């Protein structure tokens, strides 16, 4: 994702596919298509707040990389069980990508996989709607969704690695 503009009243993040994340603390996600279509996805504040409570923090600013990883796993788990839609997952991951990687720099380059998974998850809302482009299958949706499922399947190993590296840095 690249930052197109940033103002004190509104944060706007876009990527090459015109997915826009707008807002102050809990943004909505706007997907803008190539044919001027626009979809506004509200931020799932109640679900996100519940997940923050489960991992033991009050807001995204309190997330360490290990707690962020737990939050990501819980979010993917909620999607798998049907407790969260793909659009809600994408909105949360876009928000976390902005808050924990780009804005604060809390996701250290050592944990590159965390940033990649956040970015892939944030892009899923766009690619769901572009799984077929110009009559041809677009494999990016499947690739990004598969990366999240692999991350979820390896969650215990990923979590242990992140916690180990955080202890080494302390």
pLDDT per residue as tens digits for the range 160-169: 998 998 888 7
pLDDT tens digits, 87-131: 999 999 999 988 877 666 666 666 788 989 999 999 999 888 888
Percent of the chain with pLDDT over 90: 45
Looking at 5-9, 43-47, 139-143, which range is the least confident one?
5-9
Per-residue model confidence (pLDDT) at position 109: 62
Residue in the block written with tokens 């290990």: 66
pTM (2 decimals)?
Answer: 0.81
Mean pLDDT of 40-44: 88
Percent of the chain with pLDDT over 70: 77
Judged against a pLDDT cut of 60, whether residue 55 lies above it is answered with yes
Terminal Cα distance for the chain, rounded: 30
Which ranges of 5-139 would DSSP assign to H, the alpha helix? Answer: 45-55, 65-81, 86-97, 112-129
Q: Which tokens belong to 169?
A: 């840095």
Mean pLDDT of 128-145: 86
Per-residue model confidence (pLDDT) at position 12: 44
Judged against a pLDDT cut of 50, whether residue 85 lies above it is answered with yes
Q: What is the mean pLDDT of the chain?
A: 81
Mean pLDDT of 28-33: 76
Per-residue model confidence (pLDDT) at position 132: 80
What b-and-e string marks burial along 103-139, b requiring 16 or more CB atoms within 10 Å of the CB?
Answer: eeebbeeebebbbebbbbbbbbbbbebeeeeeeeeee
């Amino acid at each position: 994702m690249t930052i197109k503009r940033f103002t004190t009243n509104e944060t706007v993040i876009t990527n090459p596919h015109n997915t826009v994340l707008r807002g102050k603390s809990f943004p909505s996600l706007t997907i803008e298509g190539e044919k001027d279509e626009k979809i506004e996805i509200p931020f799932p504040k109640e679900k996100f707040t519940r997940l923050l409570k489960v991992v033991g923090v009050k807001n995204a600013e309190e997330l360490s990389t290990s707690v962020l990883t737990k939050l990501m796993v819980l979010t993917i788990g909620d999607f798998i069980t049907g407790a969260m839609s793909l659009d809600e997952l994408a909105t949360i991951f876009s928000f976390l990508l902005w808050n924990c990687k780009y804005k604060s720099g809390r996701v250290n380059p050592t944990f590159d996989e965390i940033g990649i998974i956040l970015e892939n998850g944030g892009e899923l809302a766009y690619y769901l709607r572009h799984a077929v482009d110009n009559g041809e299958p677009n494999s990016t949706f499947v690739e990004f969704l598969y990366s999240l499922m692999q991350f979820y399947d390896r969650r215990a190993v990923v979590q242990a690695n992140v916690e180990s590296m955080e202890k080494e840095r302390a």
